């Protein structure tokens, strides 16, 4: 029998998927408050093209990606997830001016991880940025592994270690393999997150069809 993950596909989120996304959130973040139906409805209302789910052949939701378009100049890199997402409502979605697709969330059910589903969701997001002619994708990479070394290195040292390939972070290492680079490390990105201690790396993928040489990072501390 073909395993369900082998036939998983990614498509745009529909209203019928919202209960499944809420259950998925509970499975991935059992100690955190899940996405609410109200927030997810806002996402579909604001930017339906930017919302994706990974589903099995029987339409079980096993992964999701949520995003919005922002005008980066309205923000500072040290802001929190709540600032970049208008407290998870995406009310700040700005397609008229924005050139940045902001990745608010990507998650895969624990039973379906390490089977390429996260990679499929990232590919869908890149495809969207390309279709819309956006300059880039940016996101905050929650430093899930930082709590294991927080007693002996700073968050900045940890990120450098991950970028050099000497340390592995479950989130950031995956994103680096998918073409992102690190711009900065921020504190208090996600409050009350014991794994990351609140820290995240601001990451970027540049659309090669749009980016100019001036858009590519030069001399960044994190390479």
Residues 152-189 have pLDDT tens digits of 999 999 999 999 999 999 999 999 999 999 999 999 99
Q: What is the largest CA-CA distance in the chain?
A: 51
CA distance 150 to 166: 16
Q: pLDDT over 70 for what percent of the chain?
A: 96
Residue 191 has a pLDDT of 82
Q: Do residues 52 and 124 touch, judged by C-beta distance below 8 A?
A: yes
Please say if the pLDDT value at position 219 is more than 80: no
In this prediction, residue 220 has a pLDDT band, given cuts at 50, 70 and 90, of: low
CA distance 124 to 30: 26
Any idea which residue has 């700073």 for tokens? 154
Third-level CATH fold of 1-134: Aminopeptidase (3.40.630)
Report the interhelical angle of 18-28 vs 37-46 (nearest 10°): 120
| Residues 128-131: contacts with CB under 8 Å, at least 24 apart | 128/49, 128/50, 128/67, 128/101, 129/101, 129/205, 129/207, 130/207, 130/209
Q: Do residues 172 and 185 touch, judged by C-beta distance below 8 A?
A: no
Residue 61 has a pLDDT of 98
For residue 210, which of 152, 147, 129 has the smallest C-alpha distance?
129
More confident call, 15 vs 192: 15
- CATH 3.40.630.30: which residues of the chain? 1-134
In this prediction, residues 53-61 reach a mean pLDDT of: 97
Please say if the pLDDT value at position 223 is more than 60: no
The pLDDT mean for the chain works out to 94
Query: What are the φ/ψ torsions at residue 32 (nearest 5 degrees)?
Result: -115, 160
Instruction: Quick: pLDDT tens for 9-21.
Output: 999 999 999 999 9
For residue 183, which of 223, 143, 131 has the smallest C-alpha distance?
223
On the CB side of 78, how many CA atoms lie within 13 Å of its CA? 1
Q: Do residues 167 and 145 touch, judged by C-beta distance below 8 A?
A: yes
Q: Do residues 24 and 65 touch, judged by C-beta distance below 8 A?
A: no
């Amino acid at each position: 029998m073909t395993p369900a993950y082998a036939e998983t596909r990614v498509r745009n989120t529909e209203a019928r998927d919202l209960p499944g996304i809420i259950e998925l959130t509970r499975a991935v973040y059992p100690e955190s408050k899940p996405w609410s139906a109200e927030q997810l409805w806002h996402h579909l209302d604001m930017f339906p093209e930017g919302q994706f789910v990974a589903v099995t052949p029987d339409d079980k939701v096993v992964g999701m990606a949520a995003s919005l378009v922002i005008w980066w100049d309205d923000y500072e890199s040290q802001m929190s997830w709540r600032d970049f997402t208008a407290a998870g409502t995406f009310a700040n979605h700005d397609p008229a001016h924005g050139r940045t697709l902001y990745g608010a969330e990507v998650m895969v059910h624990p039973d379906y991880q390490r089977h390429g589903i996260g990679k499929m969701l990232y590919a869908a997001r890149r495809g969207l940025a390309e279709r819309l002619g956006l300059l880039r994708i940016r996101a905050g990479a929650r430093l899930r592994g930082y709590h294991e070394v927080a007693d002996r290195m700073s968050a900045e040292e940890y990120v450098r270690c991950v970028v050099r390939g000497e340390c592995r972070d479950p989130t950031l290492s995956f994103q680096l393999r998918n073409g992102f680079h690190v711009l900065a490390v921020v504190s208090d990105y996600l409050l009350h997150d014991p794994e990351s201690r609140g820290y995240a790396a601001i990451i970027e993928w540049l659309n090669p069809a749009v980016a100019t040489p001036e858009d590519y990072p030069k001399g960044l501390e994190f390479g």
